[in-house]
C-alpha cells in the first residue's frame, strides 16, 4: 500500500466557511445559553465530520481501478457509456450519504480527454435514474495503457453544487483529489468491457483504498465502433 501525494488539509477547504460560521454562532449563543446553543454545536460537529478529507492508502498493482469516493456500491452492470460515444461498458456506481467523505478522487492514472457538465434534476442519488437525469459532471480519462475510463459526479437529493477542479489535457494519478460534491451524491464509473469488478452491490467502499475493478490487459475493446 502507498499513500498518494495529498497536498490539501484534512478538513476540505470547501467547508471552511460553513464550519467557521457554525462555530462562531455556536460560541456566540453559548455565551447567552448553553441549552439554546446545543443545536448549533450539533450542526458544527456535523459540518466537521462532513468536510473531513483524510489521506487514504492506495493499493499497488497493474490495471487497477480505484474507488473515486466513499460510500456504498449501488450498481454493477453492463451499460452504454453516454459520455464516450455510447460504448458498451461495465458501470459501477458509488452512493455517498451525508455521513461519507465527499471529496472525489481519480480512479486511474490518465490524461483527461474531455469534461462535460450537464444541468439536471435532484432525485435521490441512490436511484438508477439519477445517473442520466440529475445534475452531473462527466470526466473521460485515457490511461497510459490506452484504456478509456469515465468518472461521473452526480448530484443527489440535497446536493446543490458539483465542484470539479480538473481541466482537459491535465494528467491525473490514481487517487488524486479532483473534485467535491456537497451533501448526498453519487459517482458513476464506466470501464471497458473485459474489466473485472472487485465489488458487488451493497459493499461499503472507501475512496482510493478500495479496488473497484481490474482493467483488461488489452485495451482493444476501449474504442467504440464508428
Residue 19 lies in a domain: yes
Alpha carbon 128 to chain centroid distance? 16
Q: Are residues 149 and 109 in the same domain?
A: yes
pLDDT at site 132: 78
pLDDT higher than 90, residue 111:
yes
pLDDT at site 138: 95
Name the nearest CA neighbour of 55 among 185, 207, 187.
207
Average pLDDT across the chain, whole number: 85
| 52 DSSP 8-state letter | B
112-137 pLDDT, tens per residue?
999 999 887 766 666 677 677 788 89
**Cell digits for 48?**
466537521
Q: Are residues 84 and 27 in the same domain?
A: no
Any idea which residues carry the catalytic annotation? 185
pLDDT at site 15: 72
- Which of the pair, 15 or 159, is modelled with greater confidence? 15
Please name the residue that has the C-alpha cell 490514481. Answer: 174
Rounded to whole angstroms, the Cα distance separating 135 from 159 reads 9
Given 16, 32, 55, the domain boundary residue is 55
Q: Are residues 106 and 195 in the same domain?
A: yes
pLDDT higher than 80, residue 184:
no
Dihedral sign computed on CA atoms, order 107, 196, 191, 102: negative
pLDDT at site 13: 79
pLDDT at site 32: 85
**Cell digits for 193?**
468491457
Indicate the pLDDT class of residue 88, thresholds 50, 70 and 90: very high
Range of the domain at 17: 1-55
The CATH number for 81's domain is 2.70.70.10
Mean pLDDT over 2-7 rounds to 54
Given 55, 72, 90, the domain boundary residue is 55
Please name the residue that has the C-alpha cell 443527489. Answer: 156
State what percent of residues in the chain have pLDDT above 70: 87
Q: Are residues 166 and 209 in the same domain?
A: yes
Residue 218 contacts by C-beta under 8 Å, 6 or more apart in sequence? 194
Amino acid at each position: 500500500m502507498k499513500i498518494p501525494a495529498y497536498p490539501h488539509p484534512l478538513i476540505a477547504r470547501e467547508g471552511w466557511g460553513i464550519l467557521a460560521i457554525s462555530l462562531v454562532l455556536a460560541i456566540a449563543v453559548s455565551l447567552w445559553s448553553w441549552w439554546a446553543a446545543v443545536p448549533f454545536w450539533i450542526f458544527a460537529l456535523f459540518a466537521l465530520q462532513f468536510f473531513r478529507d483524510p489521506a487514504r492508502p492506495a493499493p499497488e498493482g497493474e490495471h487497477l481501478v480505484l474507488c473515486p469516493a466513499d460510500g456504498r456500491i449501488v450498481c454493477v452492470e453492463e451499460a452504454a457509456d453516454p459520455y464516450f460515444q455510447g460504448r458498451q461498458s461495465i458501470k459501477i456506481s458509488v452512493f455517498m450519504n451525508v455521513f461519507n467523505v465527499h471529496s472525489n478522487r481519480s480512479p486511474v492514472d490518465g490524461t483527461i480527454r474531455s469534461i462535460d457538465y450537464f444541468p439536471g434534476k435532484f432525485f435521490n442519488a441512490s436511484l438508477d435514474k439519477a445517473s442520466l437525469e440529475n445534475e452531473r459532471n462527466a470526466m473521460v480519462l485515457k490511461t497510459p495503457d490506452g484504456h478509456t475510463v469515465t468518472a461521473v459526479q452526480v448530484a443527489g437529493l440535497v446536493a446543490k453544487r458539483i465542484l470539479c477542479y480538473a481541466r482537459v489535457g491535465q494528467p491525473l494519478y490514481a487517487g488524486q483529489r479532483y473534485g467535491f460534491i456537497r451533501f448526498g451524491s453519487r459517482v458513476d464509473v464506466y470501464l471497458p468491457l473485459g474489466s473485472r469488478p472487485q465489488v458487488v452491490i451493497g459493499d461499503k467502499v472507501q475512496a482510493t483504498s478500495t479496488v473497484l475493478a481490474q482493467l483488461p490487459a488489452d485495451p482493444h475493446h476501449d474504442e467504440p465502433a464508428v
